[in-house]
C-alpha cells in the first residue's frame, strides 16, 4: 500500500485535508504559525500555549484567528491570559486529570469538537506548534504523542504534523510513502529517525539514497541527508520511523 503526503500544501495554504492547530507551551515559531493559521478549521491552545498565543497577537504584522478553546489543567495559563481570552469569548476548558498531558487533553477536545461539527467519521489532520528546545522530557513527550495518536481514534482520525523551530516532522506509514514537496517550503536537510527501533528503509529522491537499509539508534541513522527531488519515496519495514524536514529560511523561527 502507498501512503501519500503533501506537507507543502499545509505550509502554502492548500491543505489536502482540513486541519486543526494545537499550540503548546513553547516559544511560537511565528513565521510557521503565520503560514498555517488562516486555513485552520480549529485552533486550540494547550494550557500555557494560551500565554504564547496572546504574545503572538501583539505583532500587528501577523495573521490572526481566535482560538476555539484553551484546554488543560490550567496550572500554566496566566491570569492575564485567561482574562484576555475570556473577554474575547474564548472557551476555557479545565480537565484536572494528572495522568494525561495538556497536549493529550487538547487533542481529545479537538476530536470531540470536530465530531460535533462534522460527525464521527470526519477526518481531521492536526498541526502541532511545538518546540523541541525546551525540557527534554516534554520534548520526548511531543514525539511520543506523534506515535500515540495512531492507536487512539478518540484523539485523532487523520495525520499529525509537528511544526517546531526549524522542522516539520511526521511519522511515516509502514510500506511505501510518497512525499510531495515543493523545495520553496523546505531547506535541504532531512532525517529519517527510527524512534521505535530497528527497521529497514529504501529511499529515492535524496542525495544519499539507500536500499533495504537497516536503521537503528546506536547503529546507523540517516540524518543530514539532502532533498534532491520534489518527490521523495521512502519504503518502510515493520516499525514506523519519524521523517523530519528542515523548513525553508522564511518559515524558521526568528530566534529560539
Q: Which of ligand ATP, ligand VIB, none interacts with 99 (beta carbon under 5 to 8 A by kind)?
A: ligand VIB
Q: Which of ligand ATP, ligand VIB, none interacts with 26 (beta carbon under 5 to 8 A by kind)?
A: ligand ATP
Please state the closest distance from residue 176 (CB atom) to ligand VIB, in A: 36
Please state the closest distance from residue 57 (CB atom) to ligand VIB, in A: 25
Residue of minimal Cβ distance to ligand VIB: 98
Site string for ligand ATP, 88-107 (x = CB under 6 A): -------------xxx----
3-state secondary structure of 221: coil
3-state secondary structure of 23: strand
When asked if residue 24 is in the footprint of ligand ATP (CB under 6 A), the reply is: yes
3-state secondary structure of 31: helix
Q: CA torsion, points 180, 167, 71, 41, in degrees to nearest 10?
A: -30
When asked if residue 26 is in the footprint of ligand ATP (CB under 6 A), the reply is: yes
CA distance 203 to 99: 39
170 bridge partner residues: 243
Site string for ligand VIB, 67-96 (x = CB under 6 A): ------x-----------------------
Task: Give the phi and the psi of residue 39 in degrees, each rounded to 5.
Answer: -95, 5
CA distance 65 to 78: 20
Q: What is the DSSP string of 100-159?
A: S-HHHHHHHHHHHHHHHHH-TT---EEEEE--TTS-HHHHHHHHHHHHHGGG-TTT-SS-
When asked if residue 175 is in the footprint of ligand ATP (CB under 6 A), the reply is: no
Q: Which of ligand ATP, ligand VIB, none interacts with 49 (beta carbon under 5 to 8 A by kind)?
A: ligand ATP
Residue of minimal Cβ distance to ligand ATP: 134
Q: Which of ligand VIB, ligand ATP, none interacts with 141 (beta carbon under 5 to 8 A by kind)?
A: ligand ATP
- Using CB under 6 A as the binding criterion, the count of chain residues that bind ligand VIB stands at 6
Residues 92-121 that bind ligand VIB (CB under 6 A): 98-102
Beta strands in the chain (DSSP E): 2-5, 19-23, 42-46, 69-72, 91-94, 125-129, 160-163, 167-171, 175-180, 186-193, 199-204, 213-215, 222-226, 231-236, 242-247
Residues in contact with ligand VIB by the rule CB under 6 A: 73, 98-102
Residues in contact with ligand ATP by the rule CB under 6 A: 24-26, 46-49, 72-73, 75-76, 101-103, 131, 134-135, 138-139, 141-142
Amino acid at each position: 500500500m502507498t501512503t501519500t503526503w503533501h506537507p507543502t500544501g499545509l505550509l502554502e495554504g492548500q491543505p489536502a485535508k482540513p486541519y486543526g492547530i494545537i499550540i503548546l507551551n513553547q516559544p511560537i515559531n511565528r513565521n510557521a504559525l503565520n503560514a498555517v493559521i488562516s486555513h485552520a478549521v480549529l485552533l486550540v491552545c494547550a494550557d500555557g500555549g494560551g500565554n504564547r498565543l496572546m504574545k503572538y497577537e501583539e505583532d500587528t504584522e501577523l495573521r490572526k484567528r481566535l482560538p476555539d478553546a484553551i484546554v488543560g489543567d490550567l496550572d500554566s495559563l496566566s491570569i492575564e491570559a485567561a482574562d484576555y481570552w475570556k473577554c474575547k469569548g474564548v472557551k476555557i476548558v479545565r480537565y484536572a486529570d494528572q495522568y494525561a498531558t495538556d497536549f493529550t487533553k487538547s487533542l481529545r477536545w479537538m476530536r470531540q469538537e470536530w465530531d460535533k461539527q462534522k460527525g464521527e467519521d470526519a477526518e481531521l489532520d492536526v498541526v502541532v506548534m511545538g518546540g523541541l528546545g525546551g525540557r527534554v522530557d516534554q520534548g520526548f513527550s511531543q514525539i511520543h504523542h506523534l506515535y500515540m495518536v495512531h492507536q487512539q481514534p478518540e484523539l485523532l482520525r487523520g495525520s499529525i504534523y509537528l511544526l517546531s523551530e526549524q522542522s516539520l516532522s511526521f511519522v511515516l506509514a509502514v510500506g511505501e510513502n510518497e512525499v510531495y514537496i515543493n523545495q520553496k517550503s523546505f531547506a535541504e536537510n532531512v532525517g529519517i529517525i527510527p524512534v521505535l527501533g530497528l527497521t529497514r528503509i529504501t529511499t529515492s529522491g535524496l542525495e544519499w539514497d539507500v536500499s533495504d537499509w537497516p536503521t537503528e539508534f546506536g547503529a546507523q541513522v540517516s540524518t543530514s541527508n539532502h532533498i534532491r527531488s520534489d518527490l521523495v519515496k521512502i519504503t518502510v519495514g515493520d516499525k514506523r520511523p519519524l521523517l523530519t524536514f528542515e523548513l525553508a529560511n522564511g518559515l524558521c523561527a526568528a530566534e529560539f
